[in-house]
Amino acid sequence: MIVNYRTAALAIECLRSLAPEIALLPGSRAVVVDNASGDDSDVQIAAAITGQGWSSWASSIQAGRNGGFAFGNNVGVASIPASAPQPEYVHLLNPDTRVRPGALRELLSFMDGHPDVGIAGSRLECPEGRVHRAAFRFMNLAAEFEHTVGLRIVSRLLAWRVVAPPPREEAHATDWVCGASMILRRDVLAALGGFDERYFLYFEESDLCLQARRAGWTCWHVPASRVVHLSGQATGLNDSEQPMPAYWFESRRHYLVKNHGLVYLWMMNIAWLSGYVLRRARRRLQNKPRTDKPQMLSDFIRLSFRPARIVR
């Protein structure tokens, strides 16, 4: 499943990288869900599928509206006809990914050999091979403070609690994996009712992994499955001059209240603010330039403390 929103060129290159992998996995298919891009993305993708001779294994559908990542993937899964053979696994891919040779077979081999695992994620890397952190711990108070305070001594003391620990070379259990390349047993999706569509973007994959854990499934990271991730290309979130979008705060708020309650949300907000204010004060004392998003503090206060209700 590839959810596209105004990234047709990226989605087509993702399909191109899948073509030789799909050829080695008879019966596999790829579905591109266009979230009402409004820029002819669906036309471009459909034309590429036909023109490149991919129609035997790839298709594109329209979601009808831009409901976000969770919504788009749910639309894709729901598009599988009940009369057709049902897939054992669903593999989610961002349009800004390129699969390395053998990436899909490694994920399938791992899942086939570990029936207790419900979700697994690939190693994500830059085109030149630098590895991204893609296996994570669930959010916690210590990690929230460590992330915003930005002090090495704090990071060393709280290394066992940080959300994004250093990458490992061997397959290992983890709390959650990045949705840029995530494989799920269809039984897991069916049991959980798919993704929670109250998330527009971000936190939906960590929420799904948490719900799967509570239902008795484990989550693993499989570095042998290598996928290039052009991080931020599909969302633009890496632009340091653009404020953090409101949906990030909304998704964070929803995740915390849904899974831990309103009191915990406030505790997490205080941990975040404590670290952020200390880092900001230190930066000013040292006369260092801004390194965070513009309006971050005011937006955090404005959007993180109100009732957990996502309004569009």
CB 31 within 8 A of CB 2: yes
Place of tokens 């490694």: 106
**What is the H or E stretch that residue 197 is in?**
none
**Structure confidence at residue 310 (pLDDT):** 46
**Structure confidence at residue 287 (pLDDT):** 84
Q: Is pLDDT of 311 > 50?
A: no
Cα–Cα distances in angstroms (integers) from residue 106 to residues 22, 132, 217, in the given order = 13, 18, 20
Cα–Cα distance, 1 to 40 (Å, whole number): 19
CB 219 within 8 A of CB 120: yes
pLDDT tens for residues 120-171? 999 999 999 899 999 999 999 999 999 999 899 999 999 999 999 999 999 9
Cα–Cα distance, 303 to 243 (Å, whole number): 13
Domain boundaries, the chain: 2-132+167-229, 246-304
DSSP state of 100: P
Q: Is pLDDT of 308 > 70?
A: no
Of 3.40.50.620, 3.90.550.60, 3.90.380.10, 3.40.50.300, the CATH number of 2-132+167-229 is: 3.90.550.60
Half-sphere exposure of 258 (CA within 13 A, CB side): 19
Supply the DSSP string of 220-233, one letter for each residue: EEEEEEEEEE-TTT
Cα–Cα distances in angstroms (integers) from residue 189 to residues 100, 306, 311, in the given order = 26, 31, 26
Average pLDDT over residues 87-109: 97
The two three-digit tokens of residue 61, written as one number: 């559908």
Task: Tell me the pTM.
Answer: 0.93
Cα–Cα distance, 203 to 39 (Å, whole number): 27
Which ranges constitute the DSSP H helices of 89-216?
103-113, 141-149, 152-157, 186-192, 204-214
CA 222 to chain centre: 16
**Residue 48 pLDDT class (50, 70, 90 cuts):** very high
**Structure confidence at residue 289 (pLDDT):** 82
Cα–Cα distance, 3 to 155 (Å, whole number): 35
pLDDT tens for residues 239-289? 667 899 999 999 999 999 999 999 999 999 999 999 999 999 988 888 888
Residue 225: φ, ψ to 5°:
-90, 105
3-state secondary structure of 92: strand
What is the rounded average pLDDT for all residues in the chain?
Answer: 93
The two three-digit tokens of residue 180, written as one number: 């840029």
3-state secondary structure of 181: strand
CB 195 within 8 A of CB 219: no
**Residue 238 pLDDT class (50, 70, 90 cuts):** low
**Residue 312 pLDDT class (50, 70, 90 cuts):** very low
Cα–Cα distance, 127 to 236 (Å, whole number): 18
Which bin fits 235, alpha (ψ -120 to 50), beta or left (φ > 0)?
alpha
